[in-house]
Amino acid sequence: MFAKPLDQEPSLTEQQKEQMFQEWKVARREELSQYQKQIAEHYVANVDQELERWQNGRKGRRASNNEMANLQETMDKELETHQLEHGPKTRKIPGQSNNEDEDDVEDINVAEDDMMDDVLGVDDNGRRGDEAVKVEEGNGSPVEDKKDE
């Protein structure tokens, strides 16, 4: 009927229970410390990977920036060398004057004149649109202006 033998002393049974509990507690603590160690190692490995990725990314950006700067410097030096050897590049338009300042002023004036002609409605002959055809007062038919006869 009894599950346990009655021949053991209750204090001895209590000591055995306490010892088993202590062993169980030590085993669980060991498992927990192992688990914590694994988690810490995994975390540190992730941090190392992330740090390495950031550093490589910065190196890559720095390298590409340096390459671009070096390329620009090289191109500038080549241009400077070319200009020293051959002189600055000049633009020459056949049949035009070599004075660039006057050409620029003339171009601006022509553009302004064209805009004014458009606003005033002047045709290619130099006559304004309202001067080109005048209506004869008597019969309402248009009469062309007569040039100096």
Cα angle at 22 between 20 and 23, to 5 degrees?
65
Domain ranges of the chain: 12-85, 99-128
The predicted-structure confidence for 97-124, as pLDDT tens digits, reads as follows 655 555 555 566 666 777 777 777 766 6
Banded pLDDT at 7 (limits 50, 70, 90): low
Grade residue 50 by pLDDT with cuts at 50, 70 and 90: very high
Q: How confident is the model at residue 42 (pLDDT cuts 50, 70, 90)?
A: very high
**31 to 24, 36, 62, 100: CA distances (angstroms):** 11, 9, 46, 89
Rounded to whole angstroms, what are the CA distances from 96 to 92, 102, 106? 8, 11, 12
Taking only the tens place, the pLDDT of each residue in 65-99 is: 677 778 888 888 888 888 888 876 777 777 766 55
Between 54 and 149, the higher pLDDT residue:
54
